[in-house]
Amino acid sequence: MPLAPITGRCASGHPLCERLPVCLDEEWFFPGVLAPRLDKKVKILNDVEGLSKYVEHKLQEHAGGSVVFNDDILYSPRASAVLFLLGRRCPRDHGDDTGPFLILNKRSAKVKQPGDLCCPGGSIVPRLDVTLARLLRLRGSPLARWAGWSEWRNRRPQEAFSLSLLLATGLRESFEEMRLNPLGVRFLGFLPPARLVMFQRVIYPMVCWISGQVRFFPNWEVEKVVAVPLSRLLEPTNYARCVMNIAVSNDNRHAQDIKEFPCFLHSRDGQTERLWGATFRITMSFLDLVFGFTAPAIENLQAVKGTLGRHYLTGRPAIRINGEPS
């Protein structure tokens, strides 16, 4: 196999930014040092600028030419947008953890699904978010700086409107929930939508890069902000099989239903946070598209017990992991 020349393309012909030290689809580092794939992932994580450009490139590959967004997103009660936030710097309350990070919110006991880790976001507010979407079309905005915006605006105008609307919704909700600075993010692209059967909703994840902000101020909907190093998400040993004891009501009697779900466990300062459900699926989609990483098969994972109480959908605290509140 010939060495990949440093010409902006790897041996497979993929265009690369000039700072990117490695093509993750090849076995060669520039200037041609052979290394295992896991080492390559670690290496690209160490170059945060190169990583953000590589993520943007891989997401543009995924966008392709097929229809991504439906025309009825604006008035659909099922559509919501979230920001899949990546950060280069450690939030102030996360000590010596090394980045880059996936930045999530932990839902407070005052909202539905308390204790869950989630991406910031929510439903579209038509009149307000249409106005904000128009502002995103102005020069210098996160959307206008996106490498694919010119092509989308000219060749896919209806989908470009839907994209600007979803990004506007995600930015507005993130400002409300955690005071994310909307002008301090870089839009990298989007992930496939995640469908929620229980809530009959479709979530559209928008991937953004935070370059400088390290302080967040959660509102009443958020218990705290949790930053997970991407390197830990690429370690198979951090995944588990959650055996969930779900409380259900039947003819005024309480019963239990046991189901199993794959999850990611993030431990820090003696506390373990569990990433599961829709946000887990969104995260796995990102890791697969960008790194080609998939979590171990659920039957091969260590079991951890969890409880989903009857009040999970009402905002009262109801989730426990191995007997401890989540």
pLDDT, position 161: 94
Q: Which residue has the tokens 């249409």?
A: 130
Q: What is the distance between the alpha carbons of residues 90 and 164, in angstroms, rounded to a whole number? A: 29
Q: Are strands 28-29 and 33-34 parallel, antiparallel or unpaired?
A: antiparallel
The percentage of residues in the chain with a pLDDT greater than 90, rounded to a whole number, is 57
Residue 307 has pLDDT above 50, yes or no: yes
Backbone angles phi, psi at 253, to 5 degrees: -115, 150
Q: What is the distance between the alpha carbons of residues 227 and 171, in angstroms, rounded to a whole number? A: 18
Among 21-35, 274-288, 295-309, which stretch is predicted with the lowest mean pLDDT? 21-35
Residue type, 9: R
Residue 51 has pLDDT above 70, yes or no: yes
Among 24-33, 110-119, 226-235, 262-271, which stretch is predicted with the lowest mean pLDDT? 24-33
Please work out, in degrees rounded to the nearest 5, the angle formed at the alpha carbon of residue 286 by the alpha carbons of 56 and 27.
75
pLDDT, position 104: 97
Backbone angles phi, psi at 148, to 5 degrees: -95, 0
Question: What are 203's strand-pairing partners?
Answer: 80, 194
Peptide bond into 31 cis (omega under 30): yes
Per the structure block, which two tokens stand in for 39? Answer: 């080492």
Averaged pLDDT of the chain:
81
pLDDT tens-digit series, residues 175-220: 999 999 999 999 999 999 998 876 778 999 999 999 888 899 999 9
Question: What are 263's strand-pairing partners?
Answer: 240
Among 131-135, 286-290, 311-315, which stretch is predicted with the lowest mean pLDDT? 311-315
List domains and CATH numbers for the chain: 1-47 (no CATH), 79-227 (3.90.79.10), 235-325 (no CATH)
Residue 320 and residue 307 in contact, taking contact as beta carbons nearer than 8 Å: yes
Q: What is the distance between the alpha carbons of residues 46 and 10, in angstroms, rounded to a whole number? A: 19
Kindly give, in sequence order, each residue whose CB lies less than 8 Å from that of residue 208, ignoring residues fewer than 6 positions away.
83, 84, 85, 86, 142, 170, 185, 186, 187, 188
Q: Which residue has the tokens 């009959």?
A: 200
Supply the pTM of this predicted model: 0.83
pLDDT tens-digit series, residues 8-26: 444 444 444 443 444 444 4
pLDDT, position 90: 63
Residue 147 and residue 60 in contact, taking contact as beta carbons nearer than 8 Å: yes
Reported as a pLDDT band with limits 50, 70 and 90, residue 315 is low
Residue 114 and residue 312 in contact, taking contact as beta carbons nearer than 8 Å: yes
Instruction: Return the number of other C-beta atoms located less than 10 Å from residue 143's C-beta.
Output: 22
Q: What is the distance between the alpha carbons of residues 88 and 161, in angstroms, rounded to a whole number? A: 29
Reported as a pLDDT band with limits 50, 70 and 90, residue 4 is very low
Residue 39 has pLDDT above 60, yes or no: no
